[in-house]
Structure 1
Amino acid sequence: MSDLPQLWKKLRATKESKSLMSKYLTPEIYEKLKDKKTKLGGTLTDCIRSGVENLDSGVGIYASDPAAYQEFSELFDPIIKDYHKVEALYHPPTDFGNVEQLNFGDLDPSGELIVSTRVRVGRSHDSYGFPPTLNKEQRVNMERNTRDVLEKLTGELKGTYYPLDGMTPETQKKLMDDHFLFNDSDRFLKAAGGYNDWPVGRGIFFNDNKTFLVWVNEEDHLRIISMQKGGDLAAVYKRLVSGIQELEKKLQFARLPNLGYLTFCPSNLGTALRASVHVKIPKVAAMPEFKTICDEYSIQARGIHGEHTESLGGVYDISNKRRLGLTEIQAIEEMRRGVEELIRLEKGGELK
């Protein structure tokens, strides 16, 4: 029996929740959606549980499966517009740009400021639900299908897949030392069912050079990652695009014309792309205008250990803020321009 009435009662009784879900889940919307189900069995309960159990959530909602974005659109649409700061839900066709003729290369040729560069995307298999509606058998099948494709990659992308289920302590330590291993410690994801059947059906693939990674069934079905030391954004981006295109030859990813690529959390919709650098900018970060500069260039500053963490030694994680309503190459260019401006200011340039 559904515990939706209890969740709804708790949400209505509290003044603690400031999430977007609590903002837009009005009594009228609740009545419209409370009995609906997606074709995979996803319910409103699946979508709002994490936000009710964690009243300090920011977004407060996860999609039960790709179809939830349409079935529960009266709740998801205003949340997505609010989070992504867009007036209309539109997403352009995929466009990686001409990767052979990019108008950028290494953002820090001297190697003084940028420690590392990373670009990742989230992708979801179009024939599977998200964690709340996946059973163990489906999760294992999805991992098997994905692994078969990953283990056939060639050239620079060729590598090894490591399943989490049955992983030896030695391999686990090695992957943790390389900062590759994900875990089941996020309470927001846990409440949303993100760690159901842990660690079954999950694993990590990386190439021989450790510059191309794929996380299988961490938060999203796939997190495809390209990274390396230094500031050569062009090399990192080209490798990512190459990897995505190889996977697309064998796998079908969930996408909607108005939302782009579909992900478990609506915060990652659209390109589902996050391009970032770890960059040493102690002088700029100390400026009172730091946040204004970031906002002006549509970039986001975090500590190097992710969201809600502090900087270490003046090193910040700088990434593109926008994911929805623009193309992949536009998202990369926004991040590039923002990072170049921060570097210019760090080297003594004047505020514009």
Structure 2
Amino acid sequence: MNKITTCPEFPKTCKSLLSKYLTQDVYSKLNEKKTANNFTLENAILSGVVNLDSGIGVYAGDIESYTTFNLLFDPIIEDYHGFSKEDKHTSNLNPNDLNAPNPDEEGKYILSTRIRVGRNFANIPLGPAITKEQREKIENDASNALNSLNDDLKGTYYPLDGMPENIKKQLISDHFLFKAGDRFLEAAGLNRDWPSGRGIFHNDEKTFLVWVNEEDQLRIISMQEGGDIKEVFERLTTAIKKIEEKIQFSYNDHLGYITSCPTNLGTAMRASVHIKLPNLSEDMNRFKNITDNFHLQIRGIHGEHSESVGGVYDISNKRRLGVTEVQCVQDMYDGVVELIKIEKELENK
């Protein structure tokens, strides 16, 4: 890849927020700047310049990127999250504030529930700007913190580097193993030194999982079969609290929890269910109207851009920044209650 030496010109077909907000004026003002970690505008925009089908097209290399390159990041954040540079973010991880009795006691509709957050270490660069040594230090500190968890969070940490074949097979069959990132993350510098410094922790019950040094330095995941959304949230918040006793996370009052991709800022949370809606999904307009009302996103069961299988969909919160974690999960819960209600009505017809 040649160095970016002039303001990139994007084709008309490019719809990324980078192409929308990187004007010649913005480029000229930011091009010579760099953060204390030597992260430059070129580093921030490379993924979106290489991948013209990006939705966003920018990544931050550290918390400072959001102020150093604010002329680019601020309008992108406002466009995506509807959140202005004067706004403040508030966090609330108190499960007692969530009203979410199991909406599907019989287990007829909700196959599984999964809530995850991204977290990055304070005072260390984010994935796109990190050094190999810093990444290894994160792995060391994270594995120590995770291996000290007890009760139903007690489990084992597995480094990816030099992983024995039998463990690899087991983690693949559990759908726990993550691979090197896609071409978007590759161009952002997030795949460097693969697989050094990466690993996976899971508890003995396989209801709690942490990815170390994937897109975010920690991706903390609570999950189980069925629709007890509150129980999944409680497990997650307990784990976060325990990990925070050993590790300080990168956070500020404006952007909340700091992540390399601006779409995850704020709560960095994705609360989702796999739910079976064969009748409602026959009328995708109606389906989408309901999810839009509750600020939810519809995906196929294998993640973004995938198809549904057998009328099963992945439904998750769309809002992350400017709302609390409790609101994110409440959005998802309230939307799921409505989806089940409509599915039942359609069955009875």
Q: Which TM-score band (shorter chain)? A: over 0.9
Q: State the one-letter code of the partner of 2:22.
A: L
**Secondary structure at 2:73's aligned position in 1?**
helix
Greater mean alpha carbon deviation, residues 199-208 or residues 125-134: 125-134
Quote the residue 1:70 is aligned against: 67
Structure 2 contact 97–326 (Cα < 8 Å) conserved:
no
Q: Is 2:208 aligned against 1:243? A: no
Alignment of 1:73-222 (within 5 A): 73-87=70-84, 90-97=87-94, 99-100=95-96, 102-222=98-218
Give the counterpart of 1:28 among 17, 25, 29.
Answer: 25
Give the counterpart of 2:229 among 233, 248, 268.
Answer: 233
Q: Is 2:321 aligned against 1:324? A: yes
Per-residue deviation, 1:121 = 0.3
- TM-score (ref. length: structure 2): 0.95
Give the counterpart of 1:344 among 336, 341, 345.
Answer: 341
Give the counterpart of 1:259 among 238, 252, 255.
Answer: 255
Structure 2 contact 98–330 (Cα < 8 Å) conserved:
no
Q: State the one-letter code of the partner of 2:299.
A: R
Q: Is 2:62 aligned against 1:54? A: no
The gaps in structure 1 that reach 5 residues or longer are none
Structure 2 contact 300–312 (Cα < 8 Å) conserved:
yes
2: CA distance, partners of 1:160 / 1:58: 36
Provide the alpha-carbon RMSD of the alignment. Answer: 1.5
Structure 1 contact 228–236 (Cα < 8 Å) conserved:
yes
- TM-score (ref. length: structure 1): 0.95
**Secondary structure at 2:172's aligned position in 1?**
helix
2: CA distance, partners of 1:347 / 1:208: 36
Structure 1 contact 81–89 (Cα < 8 Å) conserved:
no
Quote the residue 2:279 is aligned against: 283
Structure 1 contact 131–196 (Cα < 8 Å) conserved:
no
2: CA distance, partners of 1:205 / 1:151: 8
Q: State the one-letter code of the partner of 2:119.
A: R
Identity of aligned residues (%): 53
Superposed CA deviations along residues 193-227 of structure 1, whole A, max 9, x for unmatched, are: 11100000000000000001110001001100000
Structure 1 contact 4–44 (Cα < 8 Å) conserved:
no
Structure 2 contact 181–215 (Cα < 8 Å) conserved:
no
2: CA distance, partners of 1:271 / 1:35: 32
2: CA distance, partners of 1:62 / 1:54: 13
2: CA distance, partners of 1:89 / 1:307: 31
2: CA distance, partners of 1:280 / 1:44: 44
Quote the residue 1:19 is aligned against: 16
The change in CA–CA distance for 1:161 and 1:257 in structure 2 (over 3 A counts) is same
Structure 2 contact 122–249 (Cα < 8 Å) conserved:
yes
2: CA distance, partners of 1:117 / 1:71: 38
1: CA distance, partners of 2:155 / 2:147: 7
Per-residue deviation, 1:15 = 2.9
The change in CA–CA distance for 1:218 and 1:137 in structure 2 (over 3 A counts) is same
Structure 1 ranges of 4+ moved more than 6 A: none
The gaps in structure 2 that reach 5 residues or longer are none
2: CA distance, partners of 1:92 / 1:53: 32
1: CA distance, partners of 2:104 / 2:88: 32
Per-residue deviation, 1:125 = 0.4
Per-residue deviation, 1:131 = 2.2
Quote the residue 1:3 is aligned against: 3
**Secondary structure at 2:83's aligned position in 1?**
coil
Quote the residue 2:39 is aligned against: 42
1: CA distance, partners of 2:148 / 2:305: 38
The change in CA–CA distance for 1:35 and 1:88 in structure 2 (over 3 A counts) is closer
Per-residue deviation, 1:101 = 6.5
Structure 1 contact 91–270 (Cα < 8 Å) conserved:
no
Per-residue deviation, 1:105 = 2.4
1: CA distance, partners of 2:96 / 2:128: 41
1: CA distance, partners of 2:180 / 2:33: 30
Greater mean alpha carbon deviation, residues 127-136 or residues 51-60: 127-136
The change in CA–CA distance for 1:139 and 1:185 in structure 2 (over 3 A counts) is closer
Q: State the one-letter code of the partner of 2:5.
A: P
